[in-house]
C-alpha cells in the first residue's frame, strides 16, 4: 500500500500498518453486515465486498466466517467500552447516577451490541458457534461488569453492591433487546429515572451506609 505526500512523493505504508487497516476494515464491515443482514445473511464474500478487501486477503487474516465474526465482535465490543470509559470524567457530580445509566445504556443499544445479539441467538442451535461464543460472552460480561462499577462509582465489595451492579446490567441488556425492534427510548428513560433513585438509596458507600 502506498500514499502520496503533500510534496507529491510516493510514501510506502509499513506492512504492519497495512495489516492493521485491513483487519479493522474487515471487522467493522462484519459488524455492519451482522446488524443489517443477520448471522445467516452475513457471508465472507459480502463482508469482503463491503470492506473493499479481496476475499483472498480476508481469508489470509480470518480463515473462516466463525473466526471473522467472533474476532470482530470481541474487538469492537472492547473498543466501544473503552470509548465509553473515556467519558467517565465528563459525568456531572449532581445527578451522576442517572447520567451514568444513560452512558451504560449507550453500550446496550449500539450496533456492536446488536451484532453480538445475532451471535448469541445463532449460537443456541449451532454447536461450533456456541463453543466460540460462550467464552467470549464470559469475557465481555466481566468487562461490562467492571465498566458499570466504574462509571457508577460503586464499590462492589460492600453489602449487596455486586448484586446491584449485575441487576443493573441485566436490566440494561433487557432494555437493549427491547430497542432491537422499535424505538424504546421513552420507556427506557422512564425506567432509568426510577432505577437511578433505587440505586442511590440502596448502594452502600461504607458498611451499612447507603449512597445518597
What pLDDT is recorded for position 211? 52
pLDDT tens, position by position, 64-104: 999 999 999 999 999 999 999 889 889 998 999 999 999 99
> What is the percent of the chain with per-residue pLDDT over 70, rounded to a whole number?
91
What pLDDT is recorded for position 212? 46
What pLDDT is recorded for position 17? 82
pTM of this structure:
0.81
11-210 belongs to which CATH class?
Answer: mainly alpha
pLDDT tens, position by position, 170-212: 999 999 999 888 888 999 999 999 999 999 999 988 755 555 4
Confidence of residue 12 (pLDDT cuts 50, 70, 90): low
What pLDDT is recorded for position 161? 94
Q: Where are the domains of the chain?
A: 11-210
Helix (H), strand (E) counts: the chain = 9, 4
How many other C-beta atoms can be found within 10 angstroms of the C-beta atom of residue 93?
6
Report d(CA 61, CA 56) in Å as an integer.
9
Mean pLDDT throughout 2-21? 65
CA 13 from chain centre, in angstroms, equals 30
Most confident of 26-30, 139-143, 176-180, 207-211: 26-30
Report d(CA 169, CA 208) in Å as an integer.
23
> What is the percent of the chain with per-residue pLDDT over 90, rounded to a whole number?
72
Mean pLDDT throughout 92-121? 93
Report d(CA 148, CA 150) in Å as an integer.
5
Confidence of residue 9 (pLDDT cuts 50, 70, 90): low
Q: Which residue has the higher pLDDT, 14 or 210?
A: 14
Query: How open is the CA angle 46-50-52, to the nearest 5 degrees?
Result: 115
Amino acid at each position: 500500500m502506498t500514499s502520496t505526500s503533500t510534496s507529491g512523493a510516493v510514501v510506502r505504508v509499513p506492512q504492519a500498518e497495512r495489516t492493521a487497516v485491513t483487519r479493522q476494515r474487515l471487522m467493522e464491515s462484519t459488524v455492519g453486515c451482522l446488524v443489517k443482514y443477520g448471522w445467516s445473511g452475513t457471508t465472507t464474500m459480502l463482508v469482503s465486498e463491503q470492506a473493499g478487501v479481496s476475499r483472498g486477503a480476508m481469508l489470509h487474516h480470518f480463515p473462516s466466517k466463525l473466526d471473522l465474526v467472533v474476532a470482530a465482535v470481541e474487538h469492537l465490543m472492547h473498543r466501544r467500552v473503552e470509548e465509553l470509559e473515556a467519558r467517565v470524567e465528563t459525568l456531572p457530580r449532581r445527578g451522576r447516577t442517572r447520567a451514568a445509566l444513560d452512558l451504560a445504556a449507550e453500550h446496550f443499544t449500539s450496533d456492536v451490541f446488536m451484532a453480538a445479539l445475532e451471535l448469541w441467538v445463532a449460537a443456541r442451535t449451532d454447536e461450533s458457534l456456541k463453543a466460540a461464543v460462550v467464552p467470549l460472552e464470559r469475557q465481555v460480561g466481566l468487562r461490562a461488569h467492571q465498566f458499570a462499577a466504574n462509571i457508577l462509582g460503586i464499590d462492589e465489595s460492600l453489602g449487596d453492591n455486586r448484586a446491584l451492579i449485575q441487576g443493573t446490567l441485566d436490566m440494561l441488556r433487557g432494555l437493549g433487546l427491547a430497542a432491537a425492534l422499535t424505538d424504546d427510548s421513552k420507556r427506557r428513560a422512564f425506567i432509568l429515572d426510577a432505577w437511578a433513585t433505587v440505586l442511590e438509596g440502596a448502594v452502600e458507600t461504607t458498611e451499612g451506609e447507603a449512597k445518597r
